[in-house]
Amino acid sequence: MIGLDALLRRVVVDGELVVHGSDGRTRRYGRPRPNRRPVAVRFASRRAERAVARNPALGAGEAFMDGGLEILEGDVLDLLDLVTFNLRWDRDNPTRRALWRHARIAALWDQWNWARRSKRNVAHHYDLDGRLYDLFLDADRQYSCAYFVDPGDSLERAQAAKKAHIAAKLALAPGQRVLDVGCGWGGLALHLHAVAGVDVLGVTLSEEQLAVARARAAAAGVADRVRFELVDYRAVEGRFDRIVSVGMLEHVGLPHYRAFFDKVADLLTPDGVALIHTIGRADGPGATDPWTAKYIFPGGYAPALSQLMPAIERSWLWATDIETLRLHYAYTLEEWYARAVAERDRIVRLYDERFHRMWLFYLAGAICAFRNDGHVNYQIQLARRRDALPITRDYMAEAERRYLSARVDVPPAGAFDGGPALAPAPVVLEAGAEAG
C-alpha cells in the first residue's frame, strides 16, 4: 500500500479518511472537520490498492463496483466529495495538482465520433431499460441539468423551470419550425409545442428513446405537429426557424465542433435562432476521466468555452447570449443520487448489484465535478443575423413568466416502455421539510 499511502497523504488534508488496508493495518489521513462527515473504507486486496494508486479514477470506480473497495462509514458520495474537495478547482487551494494524468492521445481518439460510432455510443447509455430512468428522473425524463429558481425547489419544479427558461431564450412564435437535436424521450419537444404552438422535429440516435417519444406524441394527439426521427444530426435536411439542443453537444466530440456549428448555421433560416445547452468546463480544456469514458459515456466530452467559440466564430454565427449555470447541475444530481439510493432493490432487480454500484459511483462523481471541480453548464444562444433578436434580454423574462404559468399536459414517458411500469417510491422528507 506504499504508493496509495503516499498519494492519500498528499491529497487528504481537510476532513478525515480512515483506510483499513488488505494487510490488516489501519491508516488515518487528514484532520477532522466539524462540517465534514468522516469516511472509513476497507480494501479487500492488494490488487485493488495498486489499481487505485496507479489510476485513481478508474481504479477506485472499478474497485467499488467489484467489491474490492468497501465503504464502512459514510457512502460513496462522502468519499468522493472528501477527495475532490481537497482537489477543488479554486485559486486559493494549495493542494490541487496534476495528480491525475490523463492519456491525452487516447482521450482525443475517444472523441472521434463518426456516425456509426456515435450511434453505438448513444446505445451504450440511452438504450438501457427505460424503467431504470423512471426510478431516478422526473416523470418527463428530463435527463439534463434542471434550473433551480430556489435551491430548495423539488426536482419536478426545477425541470419545469428549465424547460421554460430554454423556451424563453428561443423567442418562439406560433407556427415556427423547430429542430430538437438529441430529443431524448421527447419531453422538451412536446413542451415547446404545448406552450408556444410551434411544430417540432426531434432527432435522436437512440431507438428506445425514439419509440417512447413517438408514442407520447401520438397519445397527446399531436403526432402531426411533433415528429421524431432516428437520424444523425449531420443527415438532417431543410430549414428551421429555431434549433435547440440540450445535453447532446457532450457527445459530438472535439474534432467535430466545426462541423456541428456549420450544420446549425446551414439549417437555420436567415433570421433563425439556436439555443445550445451543454455541460462545460470553467477550468479550461481537459479530458474525460477514464472510468466515465469506459463505463458511462464512451466518446463523451464536456468542452471548455474556449474550445467552442472558435468553431462558432468560424461558422459565422452570432453568440447573442451566454449564461453559465454553476451549481444547478449539482442540485439536480443530488436529487437523482438520492432517488437511486432509495431505489436500490428495484435497480438491482432490473440489472444487478454491480450495476447499482456503478450507477451510484457515476452520479456521485458527477455531483463532485460540479461541487468541487470546474464543471458548469453553458446555455449559448446563437443567431445568423445580429438583428434576429431584441437588443435587450427583457423579452426572455417576460416569456419565461408566461411559460411557467402555462398548463402543460404531456403523457409521462414511463407509460410507454415495453416492460411493466416501476413507479418511483415516495420520497421521504426530513422532519420539517415540505414537498416542492
Instruction: Give the three cell numbers for residue 336.
Output: 437523482
| Listed residue (234, 336, 310, 325) closest to 278, CA to CA | 325
406 grid coordinates: 402555462
Q: Return the HEC string of 301-358.
A: CCCEHHHHHHHHHHCCCEEEEEEEECCHHHHHHHHHHHHHHHCHHHHHHHCCHHHHHH
Architecture of domain 2-86: 2-Layer Sandwich (3.30)
Q: Which residues of the chain have pLDDT under 70?
A: 1-2, 95-127, 418-436
The angle formed by the CA atoms of residues 260, 171 and 394, to the nearest 5 degrees, is 120
pLDDT at residue number 298:
85
DSSP, collapsed to helix, strand or coil, labels residue 382 as strand
- Parallel, antiparallel or unpaired: strands 226-230 and 199-204: parallel
Check: CB of residue 281 under 8 Å from CB of residue 303: yes
* Residue ranges of the chain that CATH labels 3.30.1050: 2-86
pLDDT score, position 426: 33
pLDDT at 96: 60
Architecture of domain 110-416: 3-Layer(aba) Sandwich (3.40)
- For residue 213, the model assigns a pLDDT of 97
Quick: pLDDT tens for 416-432: 975 444 443 333 323 22
Work out the burial of residue 42: count CB atoms within 10 Å of its CB; fewer than 13 is exposed, 13-18 middle, 19 or more buried. middle
Determine contact, residues 242/178, Cβ cutoff 8 Å: yes
State the amino acid at position 237 in one-letter form: E
- The kind and range of the H/E element at 107 are helix 104-110
Dump pLDDT digits (tens) for 317-331: 999 999 999 999 999
At 58, which amino acid appears? L
Domain with CATH 3.40.50.150 in the chain: 110-416
pLDDT, residue 430, reads 30
The whole-angstrom separation of Cα 101 and Cα 413 is 40
Under 8 Å CB-to-CB from 421, ≥6 apart: which residues? Answer: 131, 134, 414, 415
What's the confidence (pLDDT) of residue 418? 59
